[in-house]
Amino acid sequence: MTLKAMAQEKVERAGIANYSFDQDVLVMCGVRYSIEACTCGAADCDGVRLRKILPPRLRAMQ
Protein backbone atom coordinates (compact mmCIF):
# COMPACT_ATOMS: atom_id res chain seq x y z
CA MET A 1 0.00 0.00 0.00
CA THR A 2 1.36 3.45 -0.90
CA LEU A 3 1.78 6.29 1.60
CA LYS A 4 -0.91 8.22 -0.26
CA ALA A 5 -3.37 5.32 0.08
CA MET A 6 -2.47 4.95 3.77
CA ALA A 7 -3.08 8.67 4.34
CA GLN A 8 -6.43 8.47 2.54
CA GLU A 9 -7.44 5.52 4.73
CA LYS A 10 -6.38 7.43 7.86
CA VAL A 11 -8.43 10.50 6.89
CA GLU A 12 -11.51 8.46 6.02
CA ARG A 13 -11.24 6.48 9.28
CA ALA A 14 -11.31 9.83 11.10
CA GLY A 15 -14.60 10.63 9.32
CA ILE A 16 -13.19 13.53 7.29
CA ALA A 17 -14.85 13.88 3.88
CA ASN A 18 -13.55 17.32 2.84
CA TYR A 19 -10.05 16.49 1.60
CA SER A 20 -8.13 16.19 -1.64
CA PHE A 21 -4.65 15.46 -2.90
CA ASP A 22 -2.36 17.81 -4.83
CA GLN A 23 0.34 15.49 -6.16
CA ASP A 24 1.58 13.80 -2.95
CA VAL A 25 0.29 16.52 -0.62
CA LEU A 26 -2.91 16.06 1.38
CA VAL A 27 -5.16 19.12 1.51
CA MET A 28 -7.80 19.34 4.24
CA CYS A 29 -9.82 22.52 4.74
CA GLY A 30 -7.20 24.53 2.87
CA VAL A 31 -4.34 23.26 5.04
CA ARG A 32 -1.62 21.31 3.25
CA TYR A 33 0.09 18.27 4.83
CA SER A 34 3.12 16.33 3.68
CA ILE A 35 2.74 12.56 3.85
CA GLU A 36 5.64 10.71 5.46
CA ALA A 37 6.36 7.19 6.61
CA CYS A 38 6.26 6.80 10.38
CA THR A 39 8.71 4.46 12.05
CA CYS A 40 7.84 5.18 15.69
CA GLY A 41 7.21 1.49 16.38
CA ALA A 42 4.11 2.07 18.51
CA ALA A 43 1.70 -0.85 18.47
CA ASP A 44 -1.23 1.30 17.33
CA CYS A 45 0.75 3.25 14.67
CA ASP A 46 -0.68 3.03 11.17
CA GLY A 47 2.69 3.76 9.51
CA VAL A 48 1.87 7.20 8.11
CA ARG A 49 2.58 10.66 9.54
CA LEU A 50 1.03 13.93 8.37
CA ARG A 51 3.05 17.13 8.81
CA LYS A 52 1.50 20.54 8.30
CA ILE A 53 3.21 22.53 5.55
CA LEU A 54 3.56 26.13 6.67
CA PRO A 55 3.05 28.86 4.08
CA PRO A 56 6.29 30.71 3.19
CA ARG A 57 5.27 33.87 5.08
CA LEU A 58 4.78 31.92 8.33
CA ARG A 59 8.09 30.06 7.91
CA ALA A 60 9.90 33.40 7.60
CA MET A 61 8.44 34.53 10.93
CA GLN A 62 9.82 31.56 12.85
pTM for this prediction = 0.79
Q: Which of 34, 53, 61, 48 is nearest to 2 (CA)?
A: 48
pLDDT of residue 58: 53
| pLDDT under 50: residue ranges of the chain | none
> Is-contact 33 50, C-beta < 8 A?
yes
- For the segment 53-62, what is each residue's pLDDT rounded down to a tens digit? 987 765 555 5
pLDDT of residue 31: 93
